Amino acid sequence: MEIDTIVRAGVFLGWLVAASALLLRRRGRREAQTHQPSRGAIVGIALQLAGMAIAWGRGGKGDAPLLAAAGEAAWVLAALAVGLAWASALWIVAAVRSLGKQWSLVPRLVDDHDLVQAGPYRIVRHPIYTAFLGLLIATGVAFGSGVALAAAPALYLAGTWIRIRLEERLLRGAFGEKYADYARRVPALLPLPRFGRGAALLLALAAAPLAAQEPAPPVAWPEFERAFDAYVEAGAIVGAGAIAMRDGVVVARRDVGFADRDAGRAVDERTIFHYGSITKTLTAIGIMQLRDRGLLSLDDPVSRWVPELRAVSDPYGSPDAITLRMLLSHTAGFQNPTWPWDEGEPWEPFEPTEWEQLVAMMPYQRLLFEPGSQYSYSNPAFIYLARVIEEITGDPWEAYVQKNVFAPLGITTSYFGNTPWYLAEHRSHNYELRADGGRLAAVDQGADFDPGITIPNGGWNAPLGDLALYLAFLTGPAADAETARRWDFVLSRESLEEMWQPVMAVDEDGTGTAWSDVGLAFFLDRRSGRLVVGHTGSQANFRAFLALDPARRTAYAMVFNTSIGDGPDPGERELAALLEAAERLLE
């Protein structure tokens, strides 16, 4: 078989792989917000197609094909052309996979459009255009001539420049500063700052097979999946999700069941769950921020900002002895529930809804032990901490967290309280298991509920992707200097590690999950000889688990939308096995 036949077949197959990736992804594309292509987009596409057509041509009379003119070097040139074609094709496959169902021929946004920065989008902002340039060059070598190879890239790049301008105008309008930050860090088309100007394009395309690979999941992930599925089945869970992370990147994910069973809406990457008491870690970070800004000391009495607490009965002295540090570590002596008189009556609130209600209850409560002498999990303690944040800053707690934690971390879909209308279709319902004729039935309790005044100790709603951004901040490292700068605005690594120092030994965290110590809001487990940090959450039938190994920079999060109202968990044994399997994800 002649060399030109071999190289042309190899390049043609590269085109076939690239085209198939784009066409198959287009079939499942999500609904777009805009539909009419602009004149500029049509011109850009026409120029790109003209460049591609020239690359396939033979040139004018007397213009010899490149392979024929290469002589003894023809085999080397042929190998480079086929390698470049296939590297480009795999780069397109990886880019389309990262982009998901957002890919479109013309500039447009789809509903819930995401700013993709994974896979090849970490290297250039428009990797599909970069890859087609590689395919065009390989095609010029295999099918064209020197004249064609010189003219084709010029036309293609002119069209690409027009399309990039249109697409980036749309993305800047949709994502604002988030996209501006991405554009500052990542070049548009050619990764020149990363690889040098000489062989930038060839090196970028040669890396395509690596970019096409998914991050390797933890070795223990198959075992975890089996344990996860076993608990979902034994515990009659309607819907659940889990992620594993390493070095700030999600390396494995599992979504099972339904977010809304009656509607047939499955759990997916956009499903919004409720994380209960994991919210307490946000409140604690807010207190640490104010400490680092010199606005308070952790050993200040909480009554300095919440004088109403002086009405609580303290048989051991004065409530003025209760410090912010004691509230953060659940050692102040306050009771566990915010509403302490639950008798199961239908008139009782799910949670108190106003601060004045808590104040009215204070004269009828007493401390359980001398402040600072022992541990006892307390939900109202974190409402008092939130009150401190509000008194010092003048911001409602929700606004403070949005501005000082979520915004700098790039967390955009999280919210508190009722679900925003534009996110309602992604909100998971919660399900309560009830006895029904000798079996357990999962009863739909709806999507939203009123957490009342308890939002600072248990109100966080978010997709698992937002939890991943939070865990990336907790584990580190920052991907670049700009991210490190924004993370330091939230909290320095030194202050985070201070929160992970043991304050008092514990057996469990109030939900039955075993730990060895409590720090400042976070729970610690040092039983295995290494430090594991985490928190759990349980409210309104949602249950969530979050843990990380700071030394290994590994983490996991899992969440379930179903729990039992009264009686033992039917999947208690499977849950214990699942927690053991989850811990091995951190190794």
Distance, first Cα to last Cα, the chain: 52
Task: Give the three-state DSSP class for 253.
Answer: strand
Beta-bridge partner residues of 239 = 257
Alpha-carbon span 461 to 567, nearest angstrom: 27
Contact of 212 with 93, CB cutoff 8 Å:
yes
Alpha-carbon span 13 to 475, nearest angstrom: 43
> In 3D, which of 128, 97, 120 has the Cα closest to residue 28?
97
| Burial (CB count <10 Å: 0-12, 13-18, 19+), residue 364 | exposed
Q: Tally the C-alpha atoms within 13 A of residue 211's C-alpha that lie toward its C-beta.
A: 29
User: SS3 string of 64-82?
Assistant: CEHHHHCHHHHHHHHHHHH
The DSSP H or E segment spanning 544 is strand 542-549
Amino acid at 386: A
Look up 277 and say whether it is catalytic. yes
CA 584 to chain centre: 21
Task: Give the three-state DSSP class for 580.
Answer: helix
**Maximum Cα–Cα distance for the chain, whole Å?**
104
Amino acid at 344: G
Q: Of these residues, 98, 277, 329, 563, which one is catalytic?
A: 277
Known catalytic residues are: 277
